[in-house]
Amino acid sequence: MLAALTAASAAVLRSTDLIGRTGGEEFVVLLPETDHEGAAELGQRLLAAARQISFPKPYRHLKLTISIGGVMLRDTDDLDSLMLRADRLLYAAKGAGRDQQLHSAPN
């Protein structure tokens, strides 16, 4: 499943974007020089790409969902505060039913 998600993400992300795995099933995507609207659009493309993933037998019945917590870098952020804000939104998206994205308001 991780390989399928990685391939689907690579098809959506730009060459300047960075993706990395931060935990068991958690990833972080850095979108340099991307505004709030662009990040939300990219999130929608990631959601759509994940929904299109199909698996071979005997896993054909499985559907992959992703939840996204999107934040914009603030002047006062360090890595820990940035990740904490994103993590809170990620878990809020999961709690709201999964397979969706939540973003903080732009700065």
Residue 104 CA to residue 66 CA, distance in Å, equals: 18
Pairing of strands 68-70, 27-30: unpaired
Pairing of strands 101-103, 68-70: parallel
What pTM, to 2 d.p., does this model score? 0.84
Beta-bridge partners for 92: none
CATH of domain 2-103: 3.30.70.270
Task: Determine the pLDDT at residue 107.
Answer: 60
Question: What are the residue numbers of the active site?
Answer: 25
Task: Determine the pLDDT at residue 39.
Answer: 93
In this predicted structure, the answer to whether residue 62 has a pLDDT above a threshold of 80 is yes
- How many other CB atoms sit within 10 Å of the CB of residue 75? 5
Task: Determine the pLDDT at residue 73.
Answer: 92
Lookup: tokens for 97: 């039913």
Q: Compute the CA torsion angle 11, 41, 38, 2 (nearest 10 deg).
A: -40
